Structure 1
Amino acid sequence: MKLEDLKKVIEILRRDYGKLNAPIERLKAQKRGDPFRALVCTLLSTRTRDETTAEVCKRLFERVKSIEDLLEIDINELESLLYPVGFYKNKARYLKELALQLKEEFDGKVPDTLEGLLRLRGVGRKVANIVLVEAFGKPAIGVDTHVHRICNRWKLLNTKTPEQTEKVLTQILPKEYWMDFNKLLVAFGQTVCKPVKPRCDVCPIREFCEFVKIRAL
């Protein structure tokens, strides 16, 4: 994909986003722009399907509504609430440690900077960037497997890791597109540009995609 076509592609994905009914939208509904919920949901979504995470978060937030609730809940009960997200026992432990860290180091508030978020237990760059966007409205690019895969499939870049992809994207993508880039590509990757058997026949941006051209050879 040519860099000059990227803006056109983003506008098309924005236009079609509401039609996709992608699982990411059900997960976003559980976050509600609240920093605590956004952080917890995003942490739980790692290595777990968004539809599964959304159901778990809905159940979890009926019981855990604050950092204090997270501190007080029994670890066994928390584990049962988190099942069946991936690595639910590890994530239960991370959440307990995270709640204590937020109380002791951040006065019970989720930090609103990349540096602060990266200090939190279990939080990497992807999670931190998504929280910055969804909870605080700050420009950042959350690069997960969908974003990394699709950008490379488009031949927009040539990177080996999500971290490398994030670095390149921040250099080539105008900041005005940063905030919704993750949700657009995740929704697109969940419904059209799938990891296996991508639906190139119905893809709205196929005229710009190098992958489509290669498949046609």
Structure 2
Amino acid sequence: MVTAPVLWNNDKAYLFDGGNYYRYDVTKDKVDPGYPMRIAGNWTGLFPSRVDAGIVWNNGKAYFFRGTEYVRFDMTADKVDEGYPKKIAAHWQGLFPDHIDAAVMWNNGKAYFFRGSEYVRYDLTADKVDEGYPRPIAGNWPGLWDSDLDGGVVWNNGKAYFFRGSEYVRYDMAADKVDEGYPKPIAGNWPGLP
């Protein structure tokens, strides 16, 4: 199961699966040789197993969530910042306080967080969830599953990819809907992922 996918600024995406992770080469469109690898020993300070969601902010930091906690990962230093993990509820105004299923950063200054059958829109500038959220996924994300996403990531091609179980969908950000022909199986379409 693919969880917490994040795209680094070096055209590498990292996708998590339990205590393992995969490094995906976006340019070559396949998992790099030698993967999966263990999180423990390779991601200093990150949860050693089960990462629920991940998102890269525009400040050189990635945020990873598990249960009621989150960590801030410094992409340059290649480690979790001092003082983490912290409680989601104490630091993310209006965000779900536990078990975030997926998170994606749009190019409009907003991040979207999903849990169960709901989502919230988080304003980066205001540093809080926008008014009127949470909202249901159904009816607001055309073609996306109505609940229980495993992960989401935005590529630099105007597309977001969402994962659930053994399938994925490609979401066109400009058209604001899932592309035709989805969902598709991960196996065979993401070389090197299970």
TM-score (norm 1): 0.29
Structure with the largest fraction of helix: 1
Which structure ranks higher in relative contact order (CA pairs < 8 Å, sequence separation ≥ 6)?
1
TM-score (norm 2): 0.32
Whose radius of gyration is greater, 1 or 2?
1
